[in-house]
Amino acid sequence: MANHLYQHDLPDGLNLGPVVAIDCETMGLNPHRDRLCLIQMSGGDGDCHLVQVHKDRRPAPNLCSMLSDPQVLKLFHFGRFDIAALLNAYGTVTAPVYCTKIASKLVRTFTDRHGLKTLLQDMVGVDISKHQQQSDWGAENLTDAQLDYAASDVLYLHQLRDAFDILLAREGRTEMAQACFDFLPMRAKLDLTGWPEIDIFAH
């Protein structure tokens, strides 16, 4: 396993494959206020590719091309936030997508524990540390501990997706899950444009 850190954008010619796990680190949880600082990605091969986004954010054509590529499935845990953060930063809609948190809520109805750490423990047998979760991601120089933490959020998502695909099929909810995944980029856009908490389907 290796971490590959880049500045501003993915390098030319890098192909992460047909399914890319993605997670973002920001200065906080408000995408309008809190800037995007780091994007970590994995093709499922055990390596992590990280793009550090500086305060003077520059265009990232290689990254945006991958995010919008219809032939590349983007794999998230709680994609609603990451898709919104990426859209706010780059103006690029990320699609198609798969969200393991949505999958969990559709099939693990026996529990209210849908956090990544819990899911990896229960379903993949991997224990990840969340010690660096609230560290300063806007620092100019990120520590090895920060990079390792960031990597752990994407390195096992392919395995988690495989496990959830089995459960979704078993419970007859694959089609429902896919419809939710298809709607997720619009859900993120609604968050950014003024409907973060309002249920537009309510009376």
Q: Is the pLDDT of residue 131 over 90?
A: no
Arithmetic mean of pLDDT, 180-202 = 95
pLDDT tens digits, one per residue of 145-184 = 999 999 999 999 999 999 999 999 999 999 999 999 999 9
Task: Say if residues 171 and 147 touch (Cβ distance below 8 Å).
Answer: no
Task: Say if residues 162 and 62 touch (Cβ distance below 8 Å).
Answer: no
Nearest to 103 by CA among 150, 171, 45, 199: 171
Cβ-in-10-Å burial (0-12, 13-18, 19+) of 177 comes to buried
132 — pLDDT class (breaks 50, 70, 90): low
Higher pLDDT among residues 106 and 134, named by residue: 106
* 95/180 Cα distance (integer angstroms): 12
Query: What is residue 88's three-state secondary structure?
Result: helix
Gyration radius from the chain CA atoms: 16
Q: CB-based contacts of 51: which residues, under 8 Å, 6+ apart?
A: 6, 7, 8, 9, 10, 38, 39, 40, 41, 60, 63
Q: Which fold has domain 3-132+143-192?
A: Nucleotidyltransferase; domain 5 (3.30.420)
* 31/33 Cα distance (integer angstroms): 6
Q: In the prediction, which pLDDT does 1 show?
A: 79
Q: pTM to 2 decimals?
A: 0.95
Every domain of the chain and the residues it spans? 3-132+143-192
Arithmetic mean of pLDDT, 11-23 = 98
* 165/191 Cα distance (integer angstroms): 27
pLDDT tens digits, one per residue of 50-109 = 999 999 999 999 999 999 999 999 999 999 999 999 999 999 999 999 999 999 999 999
Number of neighbouring beta carbons within 10 Å of residue 201 = 5
Number of neighbouring beta carbons within 10 Å of residue 131 = 11
133 — pLDDT class (breaks 50, 70, 90): low
Helix or strand holding residue 166 (H, E): helix 157-170
Side chain identity at 13, as an amino acid letter? G
